[in-house]
Chains A and B, each alone.
Chain A
Amino acid sequence: MTASATSVLGVGNILWADEGFGVRCVETLERDFELDEQVTLVDGGTRGLALLEPLAAAGRLILLDAIAFGGAPGELVVVRNADVPRFVGQKAMSLHQTGMQEVLALAELQGRLPKELVCIGVEPVTLEDYGGGLSSLVAAQIEPAVALAVDQLRNWGHHVTRRTRPLAEVTVNVGALQREPYERGRPSAADACRIGDARFMQRSA
């Protein structure tokens, strides 16, 4: 079976702790797996309307994101097709005011919504740690989330094989921002304030 074009899109802001989950998953997918040419990996960050391009280019889309859906901290969830927009709209915090829900609505209005859409989300533990990395609970879900993405890609007929050794140079995100150097190079709490305004930094229940 020949697969049509698929994009795997990781979104969120890597500077805000667990918000970086989606991007880290895409990095890991590139590092550990060889994918056929029909699969495009995208580190979408918080690019809002700029994400219409990978969306329109894809017949099928896997979206990876940290979403406060009310699950247990670190819980993974998979949502499909028509359920995705409402689901990503629950996002309790977003740097990108043009959130994924709006991007999906615009794609629909344009008649360019991918014909299949799968969202793999994680319930974040903490977002209120500016300049920080993933919490351990969320970090532990990268591998399982990537495994779900791999299964989905194979179901769609893509050729996905685990690399015999991890790729030395991941390209989907620039080196200094990849998880290990980013987390290792973090300035101390004394040098860099990690919390902020009590009104806006509080987790919603």
Chain B
Amino acid sequence: MSALRTANGFELDNSGRRIVVDPVTRIEGHLRIEVNVDDDNVIRNAVSTGAMWRGLEVILKGRDPRDAWAFTQRICGVCTGTHALTSVRAVEDALGIMIPENANTIRNMMQLAQYVQDHLIHFYHLHALDWVDVVSALNADPQATSALQQSLSPWPLSSPGYFRDLQNRLQRFVDSGQLGPFRNGYWGHPAYRLPPEANLMAVAHYLEALDFQKEIAKIHTIFGGKNPHPNWLVGGVPSPLNLDGVGAVGGVNMERLNLVKKVIDDSIVFTEQVYLPDLIAIASFYKDWTYGGGISAQNLLSYGDIPARANDYTANGLLLPRGAIIDGKLDEVHEVDLKQRDDIQEFVSHAWYSYADESQGLHPFDGVTEANFVLGPNTQGSKTRIEAVDEAAKYSWIKSPRWRGRPMEVGPLARFVIGYAQGKPEFKEPVDKTLTDLGLPLPALFSTLGRTAARGLEAQWAAHTLLDFHEKLIARIQNGDLTTASSLKWSPDTWPETAEGAGFTEAPRGALGHWVRIEQGKIANYQAIVPTTWNAGPRDAQGNIGPYEASLLDTPMADPEQPLEILRTLHSFDPCLACATHVLDAEGSTRSAVQVR
């Protein structure tokens, strides 16, 4: 090529300078991005490469399906619980196992706590530094910072002395030369727009969020029996309810449930007095930075999650919406069925795998994961040192999943827009309020900032929904229902010779599906499509570009050697590559190399 229009309507031109960012920092796993910029440093072509081999499925072959959750929990260090939940649901679906009401409630609480925790960590520790200049915070006036904080919310940590102490701590940390988490920043970059006081306030909340996310983890410890790898169970949840108990051992007792309540209350306060006000305050300085929408205004997918009642996995039974929006038509939300073999398919024409016929996609039940690391004729460099990939050929370890042939964006923005399109007030009202507060029209939602805002609104929704389920759990316990697991079909003797099932969740970063085939009590095939596969996947045989790729197009860069704008948009997806691909950064370096060719 040099210039072409893709099947999904994006103009690409790879004739300009090529910029390579490898690896993209502050994410889990190894992502490489190559873009071409025109003479005005506007991105005109984008190529997303998952730079590692993926191997989750194959190591499960022959294992006991009741143990699969524990293996999937080890794929990466971020969505451990979400993988475990997806796995037990897949096995329960295959074997027709019903779980008790309390088990559903507790699983929902684990998952909702994960949303609050993950979104907080994402916003403050992975993404905020794309908008907040840490070094500029050193020049802030603590008095003015205090006034700013007090104008935004009643959050108590707001005195001038508090901010002065923090600034001194930060100064000592920077002076010590070991910048740690702040090491790879593009401090002083012209795309940073916040005044020093807003930067200092955000740094304060960065540290407060770090402390608070540990509190949220207590919900996982209490219900999962231990942390940071909580236990899960096919047929229910592992920790019994034991109201007579005391302390942290021997099951979940009232004292523990009261602690859970306190964490939920604190989550609501932190989300509403710190996270959301920060989001609005930061966004108000970047209102005209409208880039990064990519395919979000066209195609969005959510499997849905948080069943209101146990074992009801229908679209109507899910509190977090399920559905697909295609071709930008918000007036029609399509039904989504994970077992429909023509709907969800993975293609490998641009991925380092081989299929017998690569013009066709495969549903995960028929999925094949066979590596085929070959490079196209226009690759620059060698197999062990690629300088620029050839996007006309295979160029990623991530497959290209498609829904009815279309690339789909997944994640909090997809969930909120689908809920919005379905007219559900719990999703529509906060979106409308946020847009009104910022004075922005609905299309502004389909952007990098829209993605980031939806995540914050979802954290607030999750914290309140947590409270609902806590009340439900207490009410059932008071009515004498202490059942948390069903062992009716625990024994493989009760299983059919062969069975297949699909499990789904909405991971914090988007739709997650596991597909399992069980033969003679063992796993015969296991396939997963993770959210980052949907978002970071490469082009397909029809030439449709993927969500990451599309989101970078038309973005102007202030300085291509300091690709802050690229990081900003990619981070808004909350990338997590460790399970989308599979690992190994031989240099172990988190320092991003940027090459301009």
- Could you tell me which A residues sit within 8 Å of B by CB distance? 13-16, 42-54, 56, 68, 85, 90-99, 101-102, 104-106, 108-111, 127-128, 130-131, 171-177, 185-187, 191-193, 195-204
Contacts and interface: CB of A to CB of B under 8 A. Distances in A.
Contact of A196 (B52, B63, B178, B383): B52
Contacts of A176: 63-64, 67, 70-71
- Most B CB within 10 A of own CB, among A53, A54, A202: A53
Contact of B80 (A47, A173, A204): A47
B585 A94 contact: yes
B584 A201 contact: yes
B70 A130 contact: no
A48 B180 contact: no
Interface string B20-54: 00000111111000000000000000000001110
Contacts of A191: 58, 61-62
Interface of A is mostly: loop
Contacts of A203: 586
B588 A92 contact: yes
B371 interface: yes
A185 B62 contact: yes
Given A46-B76, A131-B59, A200-B52, A52 B590 contact: no
Contacts of A99: 588, 590
B55 A196 contact: yes
B229 interface: yes
A110 B586 contact: no
Given A53-B228, A102-B181, A131-B55, A200 B584 contact: yes
Given A13-B74, A92-B587, A105-B181, 6 more contacts: A91-B588, A92-B588, A97-B590, A174-B67, A192-B59, A199-B384
Nearest to A130: B55
A15 B207 contact: no
Contacts of A101: 180
Contact of A193 (B58, B67, B121, B585): B58
A44 B583 contact: no
Contacts of B61: 187, 191-192
A82 B522 CA distance: 48
B58 A95 contact: no
A80 to B, nearest CB: 17
B385 interface: yes
Interface of B: 25-30, 51-53, 55, 58-64, 67, 70-71, 74-78, 80, 121, 125, 169-170, 173, 178-181, 207, 210-211, 213-214, 217, 226-229, 231, 352, 370-371, 373, 383-386, 397, 578, 582-588, 590
Nearest to A53: B214
28 contacts: A15-B74, A15-B75, A44-B228, A45-B80, A46-B74, A47-B228, A50-B217, A52-B210, A53-B214, A85-B178, A95-B583, A97-B26, A97-B27, A99-B590, A105-B181, A109-B173, A111-B169, A174-B67, A177-B71, A177-B74, A195-B53, A196-B584, A197-B352, A198-B373, A198-B383, A199-B386, A199-B586, A201-B584
Contacts of B169: 109, 111
Contacts of B228: 42-45, 47, 50-51, 53-54
A148 to B, nearest CB: 24
B210 A49 contact: yes
A91 B584 CA distance: 12
Contact of A202 (B77, B121, B373, B586): B586
A197 B397 contact: yes
B71 A15 contact: yes
A192 B58 contact: yes
Contacts of B179: 105
The 3 A-B pairs with the shortest beta carbon distances in the complex, nearest first, are: A105-B180, A196-B53, A131-B59
A95 B77 contact: yes
A7 B76 CA distance: 23
A95 B75 CA distance: 9
A14 B74 contact: yes
Nearest to B68: A176
B587 A204 contact: yes
Nearest to B63: A185
Contacts of A46: 74, 76-77, 578
Contact of B180 (A14, A43, A106, A202): A106
A61 to B, nearest CB: 15
A44 to B, nearest CB: 6
A199 B386 CA distance: 9
B584 A173 contact: no
A23 to B, nearest CB: 9
A171 B231 CA distance: 10
Contacts of B229: 43, 45, 47, 173-174
Contacts of B214: 52-53, 56
A204 B370 CA distance: 26
Given A105-B181, A186-B59, A200-B586, A49 B125 contact: yes
A51 to B, nearest CB: 7
Contacts of B30: 200
A130 B587 CA distance: 18
A51 B586 CA distance: 23
Contacts of B76: 46, 95
Contact of B217 (A53, A97, A174): A53
Contacts of A187: 58-63
A15 B59 contact: yes
A177 to B, nearest CB: 5
A176 B213 CA distance: 29
